Amino acid sequence: MFELVLFSLLNGLVFGMLLFMLSSGLTLIFGMMGVLNFAHAGFYMLGAYFAYTLTGYLGFWPALVAAPLLVGVLGALVERYGLRRVHRFGHVAELIFTFGAAVVIEEVVQLAWGRPAKSYEVPEFLDFPLFRLFQGSFPAYKAFMLLISVAIFVFLFAVLTRTRAGLIIQASLTHPSMVAMLGHNVPRVFMVVFGIGSALAGLAGVIAGPVLGTFPGMAQVLGSIVFVVVVIGGLGSVSGAFVASLLIGIVQTFAVALNISLNSVLAAAGIPLDAQGPLHDLWKVTIAQVAPIMPYLLLVLILIVRPTGLFGTRSR
Amino acid sequence: MSRRYGVWIAAAAILAVLPHIVRTPVAVPVMSQMGIAVVFALSYNMLLGQGGMLSFGHAVYFGLGGFIAAHVLNLAGEGVFWLPVPFLPLVGGLGGLCFGALFGSFSTTRAGTVFAMISLGIGELMASSALILDKFFGGEEGITTNRVKAPTLLGLDFTTDRKVYYLIAFWAFVAAALMYAFSRTPVGRMANAVRDNPERAEFVGYSQRWVRFVSFCVAGLFAGVAGGLFALNYEILTAENMGLAASGSVLLMTFIGGIGSFFGPILGAIVFTFLQSMLSDYTGIWLLYLGLLFLATVLFVPAGLAGILMLHVPAWRAGRPGRLVGPYVVAGLLTLVAAVGVIGLLEMVHFVVSAPASRTTKRLFWVAVNVRTLWSWLAFAALAAAGALGFRWAAPRAAAAFAEASRPAEAR
C-alpha cells in the first residue's frame, strides 16, 4: 500500500508539474487577452515533433533549447498576424480562431510527419532507473522532467515578481490602458507573452513526448485537461493554475491505480447487486475507468458552483 | 405575402426534384447527408448566431437523440411497441430536448466563456462516458439498428436510398421551417436581444437566463431530430458522433456559412458536406483544406459565405451587378491560380511523407507530376506566388468596383 501511495504521488507530481508548464502559459494568455487559447495544446504537440526531428540532427540538449524557441516564435507570429487581426471582431471570434488554429496545427503535423506515432525515445544517458523500492522503480527521466518543470516554475515566478519586465506584464494583465499611457507598447507585451506561453507549451512537449507518446492525437489528449486545470485554478491566476495542476495530476494518477467499483464496495459490505439490471452499467464502472472523466466532472461542477475558479477574481 | 412563402415553396420544389436532376449514383446519399447537416447546423446557429452562445458540445444532443432513436427503432423492430419509421426523428428530438433541458438548466446561467467551457466539459464528459457505459452506447462498436424491420405507415418502406432521401428532405424542410418560425416568435426575438445586450433585456422584463434556457432546449430538440435522421440514414451510431470532433465540425460548417443570417448555416452545411464527401475521395488531407478555409473565413470574412452574398444586395438593388463580373472574374481566376499552387505544394508534401519511397509520380490536376525533381516544386511555388501577387493587384480593383456598384441609385 505504501509503495502504491508513494509511486502514485511521485507520478502525480511529475504529471502535475507538466500540466503546470502548459497551464501557466495558457492562464497568462487568458489573463491578458480574455481568450482561452485552443491552439495551446497544439504548440505542445509541435514542441514534441520539433524536438523529435531536431534530436536526429543536433542531439538531445540543443533540441531541448531550440524546439521551444521555434515554437515560441511560431506562437508570436500566430498572435501578431492572426489573433490581433481577429481581436476587433470580439471574444467569440478570437475563441473560434484559436479553435481553427488548433485544427490546422493538428492537420499540418499529420501532413509533415505522417499519421503513425513517432518513436521519440528517452535519451540513452537518462534511460535508467533512478532508485528501486520494493518491486517498483522510478525512472531517471521522470526525475529529469520534474527537475525541468520545477526550474521553470521558479524561473517564471522570479521573472514575474522580481523583474521590471514581470511587473509590466502583471500590470498589463489588469490595467492595459494605464500601462500603455505610461509609454509601454502593450500589443508587443501581449505578443511576447503569447510567444513565451507557446514556448513553455513547446518545452512541455519536448520533455513529455518520450513518455506520453508523440502522435497526432497528443494535443487532444492533454488539451482539454489543461483547460480544466486553468478553469479550476481560476482564469488568469498563475498560483491557481499551480495548485490545480498538482491537484488534477495527483487525483488522476491515484484514480488510475484504484480498481474499485460501486459493485465491489457493496459486495464487500454484504449487499450483492443484480448484475443484469438496467443500471448494471453504472454499478460495474471502476474508479480507474472513471479517471478520464473526473477532470471534466470537476470542470462542470466548478463552473456551476464557482465560475471564478479556486483562486480567480473575475469570470468572463 | 406571396414573396414570403415563395422561397419556401421553391425550396420544397427543389428538394422534390433534385434526385431526378442529379443522376450520379453517389448524389442521393450525399444529399441525405446534407439534409441531416442542414438541420444540425441550423439548430447550432440558434445558439451561436441567434443566442450568442458559443457551444463546443452541441454534438451531445445530436448523439443522444440518435442513440435514443436507434434504441427505440430496435425496440419497435422487435415489436415491443408500435412506432412507424417516419416518426422516428420525433423520438430523437424528444431525447435531445430532455437532455437539452437537463444540461441547459445549469449551463445557461451565464453566457460567454463560462458557457463555452461548460459546453466543452459536458461534451468531453459525455464522449468519454459513452465509452464506459457500453450497454447503452455500445462501446467502441456503437449501436446498430435496422430501419426495415420496424412497422410501416401507409405502406411506406425505406428500402432504397431515394426513399430515405425523401424522408430526410421532408423532415429537414419541416425542421427548417419551424426553426425559422421560432426565430420570429417573441422568445426568438428576445434571444437576439439577450445576445446583444443582456442587461437591457433584463430591464425590459425578461430573465436572460430563461431566454437562453428556452433557446438551448429548442436547439437541443432540433439537434436530436438531426440525430434521429442520422440513425435512420446510417443505421449505426458510435461514441464518435457525440465527440469534440463532431461538435467542432458543426461549428466549422455554421461559421463558414455565416452566423449572421438564417440561410447561412444551410449554405455552410451544404458546402461543408459537399467538400467533405468530394475532397475525401481525392485527397487524404481534406481536413487540412477545410481547416484553412475555416481560418480564412474567421480572418477575412467573419460574416461567412452568406455575409458575402448579403453584401451584394445593394448592388443588386441598384441594378448594377453586371459591373462586378469583370473584376470578380479576374480576382477569382488569380485566386484559383494561387490555390492550385498551394494545393500542389501541400499534396506533394503529403505524397513525399506518406507514399512509399519507390513511387515518384503523382497525378495532380490531371497532370502526372514527378515529385522527386526540384522543377515541379518550383513550378507550383511560382504558381502560388504569381497568383498571390496578382491577387494583391486585382483585389483593390474589385473592391473599387464593388463600392462603385453598391452606391445607392439616387446618389448619382
Domain edges within chain B: 2-303, 320-407
Q: Is residue A126 part of a domain?
A: yes
Q: What is the pLDDT of residue A284?
A: 65
Q: Domain residues for A190? A: 2-216
Find which of A164-168, B37-41, B158-162, B302-306 is predicted with most confidence, using mean pLDDT. Answer: B37-41
CATH of B2-303, one of 3.30.2010, 2.30.30, 1.10.3470, 1.10.10: 1.10.3470
Range B372-383 average pLDDT: 82
pLDDT of A274 higher than 60: no
Contact status, residue A281 vs residue A301, Cβ threshold 8 Å? no
User: What integer is the mean pLDDT of B187-200?
Assistant: 88
Considering CB atoms only, which of B252, B255, B349 is closest to A112?
B349
Q: Let me know if residue A255 belongs to a domain.
A: no
- Res. A314: pLDDT tops 60: no
Q: How is residue B254 written as a grid cell? A: 455554421
Quote the pLDDT of residue B42. Answer: 93
Tell me if chain B has a CB within 8 Å of the CB of A297. Answer: yes
Among the partner residues B106, B346, B349, nearest to A304 by beta-carbon distance: B106
Q: What would the pLDDT profile of B349-362 be if each residue is shown by its tens digit? A: 888 777 777 777 77
Supply the mean pLDDT for chain A. 82
Q: Which of A119-133, A246-260, B83-97, B391-405 has the highest mean pLDDT?
A: B83-97
Domain count of the fold of chain A:
1
Per residue in A198-219, pLDDT (tens digit) is 999 999 999 888 888 788 888 8
Distance from CA of A47 to the nearest CA of B (A): 19
Read off the pLDDT of each residue in A40-54 and give the average, rounded to a whole number. Answer: 91
Measured from the Cβ of residue A78, the count of other Cβ atoms closer than 10 Å reads 23
pLDDT at B172: 92
Residues facing residue A131 across a β-bridge? A138
Kindly state whether residue A152 falls inside one of the protein's structural domains. yes
A308 occurs within a structural domain: no
- Asked if the model's pLDDT at residue A193 lies above 80, the reply is yes
Q: What is the pLDDT of residues A99-157, one digit of tens each?
A: 889 989 998 998 888 888 887 777 777 777 777 777 777 788 888 888 888 888 888 88
Q: Do B110 and A307 make contact, defined as CB atoms within 8 angstroms?
A: yes
Show the CA angle centred on residue A195, arms to residues A182 and A162, nearest 5°.
55
pLDDT of B287 higher than 80: yes
Q: Is the pLDDT score of B412 beyond 70? A: no
Q: Tell me if A180 is assigned to some domain.
A: yes
Is A120 domain-assigned? yes
For A286, the 3-state DSSP assignment is: strand
Above 80 in pLDDT, residue B135? no
Average pLDDT over residues B98-105: 91
pLDDT of residue B316 exceeding 70, the answer is yes
Higher pLDDT, A310 or B253: B253
Contacts of B252 in chain A (CB under 8 A): 100, 103
The residues in A 197-226 lying below 8 A from B, measured between CB atoms, are 220, 224
Query: Can you read off the three cell numbers belonging to residue B400?
Result: 473599387
Residue B282 has pLDDT above 50, yes or no: yes
Tell me what the pLDDT averaged over chain B comes to: 84
Question: Is residue A66 domain-resident?
Answer: yes
Is A250 within the bounds of a domain? no
Tell me the pLDDT band of B223, cut-offs 50, 70 and 90: very high
Residue A270: per-residue pLDDT: 65
Res. B227 pLDDT band, cuts 50 70 90: very high
In which band, very low, low, confident or very high, does the pLDDT at A313 lie, cut at 50, 70 and 90? low
Complex ipTM value: 0.82
Interface membership of A279 toward B (CB under 8 Å): no
